[in-house]
């Protein structure tokens, strides 16, 4: 079985701020990490490999420094790694990104493609489903459980208030949630192998069978009108008291916050 996992290097948004004037991310000095949903996707692929045997290939589109997350994937247990990198691909929106990645993946053998649900720097959740469309594959988003059943995949798909168990014939594409699993750590020996004996294969513009009008900034129809920090929604609180005590509790809370 061949599994292709799409991963992306992103700034660690726990430590990133937005430029109040330009409305763009301040990336200077912010550490880069493997996007958490993608890492869960990679872990899911590695668990299928551990259980059923599989070849796990990771692919990313990005600048040369994205090499680091591919080495990290090697150190976790991935077998092959591709870095799609060229100035011609720069400035891509989700359309251009998915066009490029789908064309690159079309050169690989795959039974299953896993992407993260969304990247923490863009939060679009579009690239995975778009790749499925480009490659004419069934797509199951928001996977919180993945299981291989013969030549089919069974996915528990998360909704706000319920879950669906969905079955699809392979090949298929699944987008993974970070809640899917707890990704494994790298091993020290895996890290040494990743840098000393494994090779990241670089693909440039001419290696990818994709039309010019669908790549890079010029192939990107999206225009950003405004960027702003997301308002953090605090988790709710469950009160398990008698009715009278609960009322008193709520009144006290409202007074505490000067609403009453």
Chain residues that interact with other proteins, rule: CB under 8 A: 68, 71-72, 75, 184-196
208, 135, 175, 137: which is closest to 8 by C-alpha? 175
Q: How far is the CB of 188 from other proteins (least distance, A)?
A: 5
Q: Which two tokens stand for residue 56?
A: 């796990």
Q: Which is nearer to other proteins, 18 or 191 (CB)?
A: 191
Q: Which is nearer to other proteins, 4 or 16 (CB)?
A: 16
Q: How far is the CB of 48 from other proteins (least distance, A)?
A: 19
Q: How far is the CB of 144 from other proteins (least distance, A)?
A: 21
Q: Which is nearer to other proteins, 116 or 190 (CB)?
A: 190
Q: Which is nearer to other proteins, 199 or 240 (CB)?
A: 199
Q: Which is nearer to other proteins, 189 or 235 (CB)?
A: 189
Residues ≥6 apart with Cβ < 8 Å to 199: 81
Q: How far is the CB of 258 from other proteins (least distance, A)?
A: 25
Q: How far is the CB of 11 from other proteins (least distance, A)?
A: 15
Q: Which value, in Å, is the radius of gyration of the alpha carbons in the chain?
A: 21
């Amino acid at each position: 079985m061949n599994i292709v996992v799409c991963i992306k290097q992103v700034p660690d948004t726990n430590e990133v701020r937005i430029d109040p004037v330009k409305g763009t991310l301040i990336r200077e000095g912010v550490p880069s990490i493997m996007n958490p949903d993608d890492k869960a996707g990679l872990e899911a692929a590695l668990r299928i490999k551990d259980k059923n045997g599989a070849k796990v290939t990771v692919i990313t589109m990005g600048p040369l420094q994205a090499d680091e997350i591919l080495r990290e994937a090697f150190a976790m247990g991935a077998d092959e790694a591709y870095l799609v990198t060229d100035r011609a691909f720069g400035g891509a929106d989700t359309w251009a990104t998915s066009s490029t990645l789908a064309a690159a993946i079309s050169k690989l053998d795959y039974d299953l493609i896993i992407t993260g649900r969304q990247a923490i720097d863009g939060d679009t959740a579009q690239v995975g489903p778009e790749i499925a469309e480009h490659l004419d594959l069934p797509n199951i988003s928001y996977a919180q459980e993945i299981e291989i059943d013969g030549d089919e995949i069974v996915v528990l798909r998360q909704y706000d208030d319920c879950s669906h168990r969905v079955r699809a014939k392979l090949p298929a594409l699944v987008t993974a949630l970070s809640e899917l699993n707890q990704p494994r750590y790298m091993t020290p020996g895996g890290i040494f192998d990743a840098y000393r004996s494994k090779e990241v294969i670089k693909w440039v513009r001419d290696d990818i069978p994709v039309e010019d009008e669908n790549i890079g900034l010029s192939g990107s129809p999206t225009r950003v009108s405004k960027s702003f920090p997301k308002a953090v929604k605090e988790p709710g609180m469950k009160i398990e008291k008698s009715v009278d005590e609960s009322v008193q509790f709520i009144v006290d809370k409202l007074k505490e916050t000067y609403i009453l």
